[in-house]
Amino acid sequence: MSQASCPQEAEAHKAVRTGTWEAGLSAHVAGCAVCREIVQVSRWMQTLAESPGETHALPDAGLLWWRAQLSEKQAEGERARKILDWAEFIFATLLVAGLVGWIGWNWIAIQTLLTSLLADGWQHLWATASFAAGAAPILSSFGVVIFFLVSIVVAYPLLVWD
């Protein structure tokens, strides 16, 4: 686009808008680059304005506002979920670290207890279990049922958890 101006720019623009051309103005536009450019741009703008281009109806303002609010709430929920995920990770890490620390602190007592259970406890356990199984078969089957129920209660949350 040129930076120069012409004293007849306004007349050239008016002639394009109204469609009435004087003979002297037509000759001037043919020779003047500035006025020729004004005429070209004005005609292009008129065809653009008159073209029945695809005009889409704008969506309802209330719907746009509702969608913006929903998007904002979802973004807040996502931020909160990320914070809770980190808190869960940190809590689990601290829990495991605390358990490991407790076991390390009390290792001698735990080792003594496990040794005594393995040495003496198994003998008493098997003696009691064989007596219960021989004396009352219903008690042993009840023990098996209780064992499976406890296993399901413990395992179910681990299987369902995402």
Give per-residue pLDDT as tens, 30-60.
888 888 888 888 888 888 777 666 666 777 8
What percent of the chain is helix, strand and coil (3-state, nearest 5)? 85, 0, 15
For residue 157, CA distances in Å to 90, 127, 147, 153 come to 20, 34, 17, 7
**Rounded to two decimals, what is the model's pTM?**
0.36
Q: What is the pLDDT of residue 2?
A: 47
- What are the tens digits of pLDDT across the range 129-142? 666 555 555 555 66
Ordered by start, the domain boundaries in the chain are 9-50, 75-105, 107-162
Round to whole Å and give the CA distance between 19 and 27.
15
**Token couple for 117:** 């259970």
